[in-house]
């Protein structure tokens, strides 16, 4: 399973259970999470990220439509389970070893890559 697949599995488990701990523990202590297209954040530090998920938990599971893995940087288009074939936006993950040090999530419905 790829790094991104593992992150998405932990995210989806958090949506189902309400327990964000297993997902958040894979963020570095100094990680930064930013959302583009909605007016929240940014969140700096693992504790701030955990609080963000506790205070405003997502209500739908995520599905990866396609991804590009360039070593320590991963880019992906994602969809919500409610509309599994419609891109909801993009994810940009920067990692160091097995921890996320940066996560940018865009909300850009219908975003495409290449000649779709």
Chain segment 27-61, per-residue pLDDT in tens: 999 999 999 999 999 999 999 999 999 999 999 99
Q: Which DSSP letter does residue 62 get?
A: E
What pLDDT was estimated at residue 91?
97
DSSP conformation letters of 54-102:
HHS---S-EEEEEEEEETTEEEEEEEETTSTTS--EEEEEEEETTEEEE
Nearest partner of 95 among 68, 70, 65, judged by Cα: 70
What pLDDT was estimated at residue 116?
47
pTM of this structure:
0.92
């Amino acid at each position: 399973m790829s790094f991104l697949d593992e992150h998405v599995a932990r995210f989806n488990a958090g949506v189902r259970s309400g327990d964000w701990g297993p997902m958040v523990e894979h963020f570095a202590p100094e990680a930064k999470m930013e959302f583009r297209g909605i007016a929240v954040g940014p969140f700096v530090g693992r504790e701030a990220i955990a609080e963000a998920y506790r205070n405003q938990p997502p209500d739908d599971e995520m599905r990866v439509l396609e991804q590009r893995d360039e070593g320590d940087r991963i880019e992906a288009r994602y969809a919500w389970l409610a509309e599994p074939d419609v891109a909801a936006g993009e994810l940009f993950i920067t990692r160091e070893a097995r921890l996320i040090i940066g996560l940018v999530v865009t909300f850009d419905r219908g975003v495409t890559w290449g000649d779709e």
